[in-house]
Chains A and B, each alone.
Chain A
Amino acid sequence: MNKLAKKIDTAKGKWEKLKENREPIVYIGAASCGRAAGALELKEAVKAFLDENKKSARVIEVGCIGPCYLEPLVDIKMPGEPRVSYNNVNAKTLQMILKSHFVNGEPHKKLALGHFGTEDFDGIPRFWDLPMLKPQVRIVLRNCGLVDPEEIDQYLAVDGYQGFMKALKSTPEDVIATVRQAGLRGRGGAGFPTFRKWTVCRESPGEQKYLICNADEGDPGAFMNRSLIESDPHAVLEGMLIAGYAIGASKGIVYIRAEYPLAIERLKRAIGQMREYGLLGKNILGSDFSFDIKIKEGAGAFVCGEETALIGSIEGKRGMPRSRPPFPAIAGLFGSPTIINNVETLGTLPNILRNGPDWYTRFGKEGNRGTKTFSLVGKIRRPGLIEVQLGTTLREIIFDIGGGVQKPFKAIQTGGPSGGCLSEEFLDLTVDYESLASAGSIMGSGGLIVMDDDTCIVDLAKYFLDFTQKESCGKCVPCRVGTKHILEILQKITNGDGTPDDLLALRTLGDTIKKGALCGLGQTAPNPVLTTLRYFRNEYLEHIKDHRCRATVCKPLIEYRVIKEKCTGCQSCVRVCPTGAITGPRSEPHNLDPSKCIKCRSCYEVCRYEAIAGDAIVIRTAESRS
């Protein structure tokens, strides 16, 4: 313990120095999404600027602070001043910002987004007071974007591994009791009480027990786990130590998607640092507890998010679920008792252990304690990664945090492909496990996709079924055959060939799959269809009876037209049309030959963004069909 105590002292000293910062610091948000928005190019440009102007500063890559729509983010902290954040930085504004701070000695007030200080600073708003951040409660994400994910010292300095050390000082049974009092439920989606699973595993006989961290975030439209691992890997790993100690496991495995290379890299580095600090291996910190962590890369199968399928995949088999019981807590990986916890569940544990269960129960509501992270995306003004207390309403999430929708709001999908699509009347529904289930949806792992009038509900249901049908492992008939049939009916409807009987068939199929499928994938696969049928029946009927897709999404039901009165004949669309469907000489209204048009949207985009007229090409319901 002494060795680590010394390291913690050094880490805290380093952190204080960093906070005092005699040297300026430039923070760059460089998680995957920041990088996609150009963060690494900015980092090079910062270095070049410093060299050129003979200035010195520390340049630190941090993770994701959440508001993805502001990416790339660059923060600057000058000595004696609070850290100032700048959003949507590009090569040009970067130069202006750097010049302002390093040459003129003042923040660039016009471009500044917010500052991290406590007091007023030059009239710049406080970062945490921004409308997207103010309603949030950050427990799991507390370090994201604030510490360097590649430095264990920074994690130690913000009380990292304190929760684990507290756990080590008590018995495993006490740790389980603490988690029970905190009321923590699994954040992977089902909401099963974490302590109950642990108790079963703890009490199961067996020399060897395993703890698996499920980071196979397969939900399309969800990136909470990726962001957390990329921004604060040690929080998840500390959670694994705590869970491993509680259940009596000596081996931990992180099962993570291969599509997340940066997260894997940061995990590997973090595990190396833990080993160096004596936080992994035999008799950790002089206790009886021995634990080691390995990384297993998933190979791309959505069904592997299901516990038994995940275990199969680690064993080197096809990732197909098996029937339960026996539950993995009794007979899991290689037949040994195994606990599988989601990334977020594990990331929450250090906070519960460090601050105590009473502190944790202050958040959320009865039966749904604590917070939940969500990736808020789709047709929303302020997409990003958020964390709110359970019991927050959908309205608060969409409108207060997300800033609302540009076009009229239509629906929100919770729980990814296994969840349901909820209409406007549910906006005041509170986000908790039971309320969402009562509306026919699920909490899921935390993807929230907002849709507006431009989204076709039938097409969306088809999209989800296309996904689950492809990802169905094929083991049980209801899922393998049922999802295929549903998909075919939905295809028929979006092609304009549906009949009113199809709606009944969809209901029957959906109910049957829910009852008969072997695993969670199948049992929840019909949810998107069943909820849209319930809440958006009219849109289905419009497709069937009127052959009309009001969102102009379903290709067989729409056509592209040139509005002759508006077209200035600028030729922009003629140049981009891949099939030569648009013709006409310059300065004269163009012709669009519907028989050649493949509805690829090129001309529509060009007309809106680049052409002179701006709105001469329209997409509308095909006349021949209605």
Chain B
Amino acid sequence: MPEQIRRILGKHGRSPDELIPILQDIQAAFGYIGEEQVKAISRYLRISENQVYGVSSFYAQFRFTEPGRHGIKVCLGTACHVRGGGTLLDSLEHGLGIHCGETTGDKRFDVDRVACLGCCALSPVVQIDRDIYSRMTVNKLTELLKNYE
């Protein structure tokens, strides 16, 4: 087992309620939950790989493919929706040539939707990595992406 996984697992107990915190730490470290990690968690908590996958696939936070260098999250909360969040996502998907949940071929961006970032008064908002951009328009977003390599 690679050292990094071992270190993360070592910080947690072996009771089943540790599963989600472990998955969160693994995703924070690797960016996604890979096959190797699922196997390691299964052995550590003594539950089946299916259980690990079953729980992790239930929650929106976990992804199973490698993310891009920059993660774009388009907020589709109600406030953002009525102010055009959906159109932002459509044009983003069209512009990058990928669908929600996918990563561009050059691994530059991955695109996801998010239910609500809680900045409803500044809608529509888009999050790129840790930064939240408020009152977005299709053209502002196109310009903004040029700042990310």
Complex contacts, B61 vs chain A, CB 8 Å = 258, 299-300
Query: Smallest Cβ distance from A487 to chain B, in angstroms?
Result: 15
B60 A299 Cβ-Cβ under 8 A: yes
A221 B78 Cβ-Cβ under 8 A: yes
Complex contacts, B62 vs chain A, CB 8 Å = 299
| Distance between Cα atoms of A294 and B117 in the complex (Å) | 23
| Distance between Cα atoms of A609 and B139 in the complex (Å) | 11
B118 within 8 Å of A (CB atoms): yes
A383 B78 Cβ-Cβ under 8 A: no
A128 within 8 Å of B (CB atoms): no
A319 B121 Cβ-Cβ under 8 A: no
- Per-residue CB proximity of A68-103 to B under 8 Å, as 1/0? 110100000000000000000000000000000000
Q: Which of A461-478 contact B (CB under 8 A)?
A: 463-464, 467, 471, 473
A519 within 8 Å of B (CB atoms): no
B118 A35 Cβ-Cβ under 8 A: no
B91 A378 Cβ-Cβ under 8 A: no
B103 within 8 Å of A (CB atoms): no
Contact-residue bracket for chain A: 35 or more
A33 B142 Cβ-Cβ under 8 A: no
| Distance between Cα atoms of A375 and B139 in the complex (Å) | 28
Query: Smallest Cβ distance from A573 to chain B, in angstroms?
Result: 10
A348 within 8 Å of B (CB atoms): no
B121 A601 Cβ-Cβ under 8 A: no
B115 A299 Cβ-Cβ under 8 A: no
A589 within 8 Å of B (CB atoms): no
Of the stretches B1-9, B16-24, B64-72, the one at the interface is B16-24
B118 A318 Cβ-Cβ under 8 A: no
Q: Which of B3-52 contact A (CB under 8 A)?
A: 15-21, 23-24
A578 B78 Cβ-Cβ under 8 A: no
B120 A259 Cβ-Cβ under 8 A: no
| Distance between Cα atoms of A314 and B120 in the complex (Å) | 28
| Distance between Cα atoms of A265 and B116 in the complex (Å) | 19
B58 A319 Cβ-Cβ under 8 A: yes
Query: Smallest Cβ distance from B14 to chain A, in angstroms?
Result: 11
B55 A221 Cβ-Cβ under 8 A: no
CB nearest neighbor in A for B133: A36
Query: Smallest Cβ distance from B72 to chain A, in angstroms?
Result: 15
CB nearest neighbor in B for A579: B94
B144 within 8 Å of A (CB atoms): no
Which residue of A217, A378, A602 contacts B82 across the interface (Cβ within 8 Å)?
A: A378
A300 B60 Cβ-Cβ under 8 A: yes
| Distance between Cα atoms of A258 and B121 in the complex (Å) | 20
CB nearest neighbor in B for A226: B118
A302 B121 Cβ-Cβ under 8 A: no
Query: Smallest Cβ distance from A416 to chain B, in angstroms?
Result: 7
Complex contacts, A260 vs chain B, CB 8 Å = 118
B115 A258 Cβ-Cβ under 8 A: no
B138 A602 Cβ-Cβ under 8 A: yes
- Per-residue CB proximity of B106-149 to A under 8 Å, as 1/0? 00000000111111111101000000111001110010000000
Q: Which of A314, A451, A602 has the most CB of B within 10 A?
A: A602
Given A223-B118, A467-B115, A460:B82 Cβ within 8 A: yes
Complex contacts, A68 vs chain B, CB 8 Å = 119-122
Complex contacts, B117 vs chain A, CB 8 Å = 32, 259
A375 B90 Cβ-Cβ under 8 A: no
B118 A32 Cβ-Cβ under 8 A: yes
Complex contacts, B87 vs chain A, CB 8 Å = 600-601
A302 B115 Cβ-Cβ under 8 A: yes
Query: Smallest Cβ distance from A72 to chain B, in angstroms?
Result: 10
A222 B122 Cβ-Cβ under 8 A: no
Complex contacts, B60 vs chain A, CB 8 Å = 299-301
A315 B16 Cβ-Cβ under 8 A: yes
Given A226-B118, A299-B23, A601-B138, A36:B82 Cβ within 8 A: no
Which residue of B17, B55, B82, B137 contacts A318 across the interface (Cβ within 8 Å)?
A: B55
A222 B95 Cβ-Cβ under 8 A: no
Which residue of A313, A315, A600 contacts B91 across the interface (Cβ within 8 Å)?
A: A600
| Distance between Cα atoms of A606 and B140 in the complex (Å) | 10
A384 within 8 Å of B (CB atoms): yes
CB nearest neighbor in A for B92: A600
B82 A455 Cβ-Cβ under 8 A: yes
Query: Smallest Cβ distance from A242 to chain B, in angstroms?
Result: 26
- Per-residue CB proximity of A128-153 to B under 8 Å, as 1/0? 00000000000000000000000000
Query: Smallest Cβ distance from B92 to chain A, in angstroms?
Result: 10
B116 A451 Cβ-Cβ under 8 A: no
A504 within 8 Å of B (CB atoms): no
A350 within 8 Å of B (CB atoms): no
Complex contacts, A36 vs chain B, CB 8 Å = 119, 122, 125, 132-134
Q: Which of B18, B91, B116, B133 has the most CB of A within 10 A?
A: B116
| Distance between Cα atoms of A597 and B115 in the complex (Å) | 28
- Per-residue CB proximity of B76-94 to A under 8 Å, as 1/0? 1111111110110011001
Residue pairs across A and B with Cβ atoms less than 8 A apart, 14 shown, are A32-B119, A68-B119, A68-B120, A220-B79, A223-B118, A227-B118, A297-B20, A315-B17, A316-B18, A319-B59, A378-B82, A471-B115, A578-B91, A605-B139
- Top 9 nearest A-B pairs (CB, nearest first) are A68-B121, A221-B78, A300-B60, A299-B59, A220-B77, A223-B118, A383-B121, A377-B120, A316-B19
Chain A contacts to B: CB under 8 angstroms: 32-33, 35-37, 68-69, 71, 217-223, 226-227, 258-260, 296-297, 299-302, 313-320, 375, 377-379, 383-384, 413, 416-417, 447, 449, 451, 454-455, 460, 463-464, 467, 471, 473, 576, 578, 598, 600-602, 605-606, 609
